[in-house]
A and B are shown apart, each in its own frame.
Chain A
Amino acid sequence: MCKECGCGIVGEVSIAGMPGSKIQSPLVGSAHEGGHDHAHQHEHAHPHGDAPHHGHDHHHHDEAEHDHAHHPGDQHTTRTIAVERNILEKNDRQAERNRGFFQAKKLLVLNILSSPGSGKTTLIQKTAEALRGKRRVGVIVGDLATENDANRLREAGVPVVQINTGTVCHLDADMVARAATKLDLDNLDVLFVENVGNLVCPAAFDLGEQLRVVLLSVTEGEDKPLKYPPIFHSADVALVTKTDLAAATGFVRDQALANLGRISHHARVFELSARSGQGMEDWCAFLTASSVNH
C-alpha cells in the first residue's frame, strides 16, 4: 500500500508461509460483501438543472439494476455528489470487527509499535515467559521478510504466526484478521501483535487492538517522541526499553520522560529492561490486571 515511503511495489502478503489472501477468516468478508449500505450518499445539487430530476437516490445498492435513463443533453451537465466518507473506512470497519471478536473472546490484544531494533521481540518473549502459569500468551508478528522473529518466539515456546508484508510498511486489520485464524484463540488470554518496525505508517492503521503500546529504547535518544508525534500521541502505554544500557548510552531519563509526558500525555509509562528483568514486574502486573485468566 505504501509505495512512497521507499517500500516499492506492493506484493503479496504472506501469513505463516501461505499467500495471505488464501487464508479464510470468519472475520473477513460475508454474504453481504460489496452490498454495504450506501444510503448516506445522496445527490444534493443539479447546478445546471436543465433536465427533469431523475432521482438517483441510491438507497438500494443491492438491486441488480435500476433505471439510469438519461435525457439527451444530460451528458454535459455536471453534478456534485456528497460522499462524506472516511478514506480509511475499510480498515477501520475491519478493525472494529476484530475488536468485537477479540472482546467476545475476552482476549487482551496489544499492538506493539516501535522503530526497528527497539526490542519488541525480546520484550514479547520475556513477557510471555514471565507470565507463564498466569496468562497464556500468543503472538502475531509482522515483518517485511523472514521468519526470524517467529522462530525466536517459537523456540521460547510461544504460539506465533508470522506475517510477511512483502513491501508493506505496516500491518492492517485485514492481515490481523486472517493471521488470527492460525492461533488457537480460545486457549489464549493475551495476544501481542508485533507490528512492522516503523514509527510512521502504522500509526494510521487501527488493528482492532485494545491497547496500543509504543516502545522507546534508551539507545534511540530522548527526542524520539518529538520527532514522531502521531505514533507516540496515539499510545495507550509507552515503554522505555533497554534501561540496562542507559548509562552506556548517556540516556537522559528526565528529558525522555518529559518528552513522553508532552506527546504521550495520556499513556501509562513503564521503564524496563527485558534482558535484565529490571522493571518487568510492574509491566507484567499491569498486563495481568488488564487481562482475564480463562
Chain B
Amino acid sequence: MHEVGIIQNTLAMAIETAEASGATSIHALRLRVGRLSGVVPDALEFAFEVVRIGTMAEAARLEIESVPAVCWCHKCQSEFVSDDLLGECPGCHEPSMELRRGAELELAAVEIS
C-alpha cells in the first residue's frame, strides 16, 4: 500500500541506529512483517532497491521475517493460525476478537560495521 514511505522510515531508523553506534556502513536490515500488517514484502524489497541508493545502506540486504497471523479463540481457549482477516476459529467457526500476532511492522535489527 505505501511501501516506499514505510521503507524510507525504516531506512532512516536504521541509519540513526548505525550512526549512533559509530558505524559507517549497514550490511543488513532485519524486518518483522506480520501477514496482516497490510504491507507486501515484495513491494518493500522493490522499494528498498531504490531508497538505499546513495546511503550507507547502499549494499545492504533486506531480510524480511514474515509473521503468521495468530488469533486466540475465547470459546475454545486456544490459538489458531488465520491467513485472512476473517479470523474464524477452525474449531467452532466463531470470529476471534483477539489477534495475538501478525500485525507487526518492525525493524528488528541492523547489521553494521
Q: Do B86 and A262 have beta carbons less than 8 Å apart?
A: yes
Give bound CA distance, A80 to B6, whole Å.
22
Interface residues of A, count at CB 8 A: 43
Q: Do A90 and B106 have beta carbons less than 8 Å apart?
A: no
Q: Do B22 and A70 have beta carbons less than 8 Å apart?
A: yes
Give bound CA distance, A169 to B97, whole Å.
29
Give bound CA distance, A233 to B38, whole Å.
12
Residues of A within 8 A of B18 (CB): 81
A86 in contact with B2 given A41-B17, A263-B86 (CB within 8 Å)? no
Q: Do A82 and B97 have beta carbons less than 8 Å apart?
A: no
Residues of A within 8 A of B89 (CB): none
Question: B109 within 8 Å of A by Cβ?
Answer: yes
| Interface positions of A (Cβ within 8 A of B) | 1-5, 10, 38, 41, 43, 56, 58, 61, 68, 70, 74-88, 90, 169-170, 200-201, 203-204, 229-230, 233, 262-263, 265-266
* 7 tightest A-B CB contacts, nearest first: A1-B5, A229-B85, A68-B22, A2-B2, A265-B95, A3-B4, A78-B113
Question: B36 within 8 Å of A by Cβ?
Answer: yes
> Can you pick out 28 interface pairs between chain A and chain B where the beta carbons lie within 8 Å of each other?
A1-B2, A2-B4, A2-B5, A4-B1, A4-B2, A4-B4, A4-B47, A41-B20, A56-B22, A58-B20, A70-B22, A74-B113, A79-B23, A79-B111, A80-B111, A80-B112, A81-B110, A81-B112, A82-B108, A83-B14, A83-B109, A83-B110, A85-B13, A86-B106, A229-B84, A230-B36, A263-B85, A265-B97
Q: Do A5 and B9 have beta carbons less than 8 Å apart?
A: no
Query: Looking across the interface, which residue of chain B has its beta carbon closest to that of A47?
Result: B111
- The secondary structure that dominates the B interface is mixed
Residues of B within 8 A of A3 (CB): 2, 4-5
Residues of B within 8 A of A10 (CB): 5
Interface residues of B, count at CB 8 A: 39
Residues of A within 8 A of B14 (CB): 83
Q: Shortest Cβ distance from B41 into chain A, in angstroms?
A: 13
Q: Do A204 and B20 have beta carbons less than 8 Å apart?
A: no
Residues of B within 8 A of A170 (CB): 2
Question: B62 within 8 Å of A by Cβ?
Answer: no
Question: B78 within 8 Å of A by Cβ?
Answer: no
Residues of A within 8 A of B9 (CB): 87-88, 90
Q: Which of B1, B84, B95, B111 contacts A78 (CB 8 A)?
A: B111
| Interface positions of B (Cβ within 8 A of A) | 1-6, 9-10, 13-14, 17-18, 20-24, 27, 31, 36-38, 43, 47, 84-86, 88, 95, 97, 105-113
A79 in contact with B112 given A2-B2, A204-B1 (CB within 8 Å)? yes
Query: Looking across the interface, which residue of chain B has its beta carbon closest to that of A54?
Result: B22
Q: Shortest Cβ distance from B113 into chain A, in angstroms?
A: 4
Q: Shortest Cβ distance from A5 into chain B, in angstroms?
A: 6
A81 in contact with B21 given A262-B95, A265-B97 (CB within 8 Å)? yes
Query: Looking across the interface, which residue of chain B has its beta carbon closest to that of A261?
Result: B95
A78 in contact with B2 given A85-B107, A87-B10 (CB within 8 Å)? no
Q: Do A76 and B113 have beta carbons less than 8 Å apart?
A: yes
Residues of A within 8 A of B112 (CB): 78-81
Query: Looking across the interface, which residue of chain B has its beta carbon closest to that of A228?
Result: B85
Give bound CA distance, A81 to B111, whole Å.
6
Residues of B within 8 A of A43 (CB): 21
Q: Do B21 and A56 have beta carbons less than 8 Å apart?
A: yes
A4 in contact with B20 given A78-B112, A84-B106, A233-B85 (CB within 8 Å)? no
A88 in contact with B105 given A3-B4, A4-B1 (CB within 8 Å)? yes
Give bound CA distance, A192 to B34, whole Å.
31
Query: Looking across the interface, which residue of chain B has its beta carbon closest to that of A1?
Result: B5
